[in-house]
A and B are shown apart, each in its own frame.
Chain A
Amino acid sequence: MRATVLVRPKQGILDPQGDAVETALAHLGFSVTDARVGKVVDLELDATDPAEARVQVEKMCVELLANPLMESYEVEIHG
């Protein structure tokens, strides 16, 4: 079973990488009013039950993959 974790800088937290991307896109002529840069973690799991997989991945997020002070996360489970 596969899972994807999306980790994002929390709303309201200064994201200088996002600001740099926004500026670069503007230089290229794109009309962008905001950009935020996060990260993606793709996981291969031994679990076969989607509910069990979600419980495991949520635990991974809390213990390691995201820091709740500055990041929010979303978990996607793929069959």
Chain B
Amino acid sequence: MASPQPRVGVITYPGSQDDRDALWALAALDAEAIPVWHEEHELPDLDAVVLPGGFSYGDYLRCGAIARFSPATAAVCEYADAGGLVLGICNGFQILCEAGLLPGVLLRNASLRFVCRDVPLVVERADLPFTSRCAVGQRIVIPVKHGDGRWFAPPELVHELEVNRQVVLRYGEPCNGSVADIAGICNEQGNVMGLMPHPEHAVDPLLGSADGALILASLVEAARERVLALL
């Protein structure tokens, strides 16, 4: 039997920029990539959802603060609560934090500078639907491009995350001043993840690194397993 193609949705908000790149990368990794407009109150039949990077609603007030109230975000919250796989990249990470699906908040970079470069990352968890193709301790290189990527939470919340093993990726060198060098985290259940680096911009050696494909192919594979489980 041919391996089924999982359906992975990508939400487009007003001001999203990396939605098409995410769609392209997911299709390149053998998913059926499905664009979803932010005004949709219900998600189509999906096996995973990606919230892409960009500057939804111009980043007004706080990054992700207004996109949180889009109808599609409410649908994503329901989808996540039901155990669906949700990945937020950069602005998508900020939206997930504002929506309360992930802990913490993303603040202005400590340097006040927009950071746009390849960064080394250390993988802390390889048992998630987003990291199954990685190994714990593995160093991977994925680009960042953000002005507000400094993940922050009060010490007691950081401690809770460390105890629950919710830190998925850390920067391998100083990047934006984030607490404990955190670059990516997941929720307690492990079905929602957010990260500031852009895996969709590193899926081919021509782009400088193909390490982003480790994250996205893990997601596509996990989505495919969900399809198979339903057959």
Residues of A within 8 A of B (CB): 13-14, 16-17, 20, 64-65, 67, 69-70
Contact (A64, B61) CB under 8 Å given A16-B110, A16-B112: yes
Contact (A17, B112) CB under 8 Å given A67-B98, A69-B105, A70-B107: yes
Main secondary structure of the interface of B (DSSP, over half): loop
Measured between C-beta atoms, what is the minimum distance from A73 to chain B in Å?
12
CA distance A12 to B142 in the complex (A): 31
Most chain A C-beta atoms within 10 Å of own C-beta, residue among B66, B154, B177: B154
Q: Are A14 and B61 in contact (CB under 8 A)?
A: no
Q: Are A14 and B110 in contact (CB under 8 A)?
A: yes
Contact (A20, B62) CB under 8 Å given A70-B105, A70-B107, A70-B152: no
Contact (A17, B108) CB under 8 Å given A64-B61, A67-B62, A67-B98: yes
Taking a contact as CB atoms closer than 8 A, the residue among B66, B112, B150, B154 that contacts A69 in the complex is B154
Taking a contact as CB atoms closer than 8 A, the residue among A13, A17, A20, A64 that contacts B152 in the complex is A13
Cβ contacts under 8 Å, A69 to chain B? 104-105, 152-154
Q: Are B61 and A65 in contact (CB under 8 A)?
A: yes
- Nearest B residue to A70 via CB reads B105
Cβ contacts under 8 Å, B66 to chain A? 64
- Nearest B residue to A14 via CB reads B110
Cβ contacts under 8 Å, B108 to chain A? 16-17
CA distance A32 to B2 in the complex (A): 69
CA distance A65 to B68 in the complex (A): 13
Say yes or no: is B16 at the interface (Cβ < 8 Å to chain A).
Answer: no
Q: Are A16 and B154 in contact (CB under 8 A)?
A: no
Say yes or no: is B187 at the interface (Cβ < 8 Å to chain A).
Answer: no
Measured between C-beta atoms, what is the minimum distance from A39 to chain B in Å?
8
A interface footprint on B32-74 (CB within 8 Å = 1, 0 otherwise): 0000000000000000000000000000011001100100000
Q: Are A64 and B107 in contact (CB under 8 A)?
A: no
Q: A16-B108, A67-B65 are in contact. List 12 more A-B contacts (CB 8 A).
A: A13-B107, A13-B152, A14-B107, A14-B110, A14-B177, A16-B111, A64-B61, A64-B66, A64-B69, A69-B104, A69-B105, A69-B153
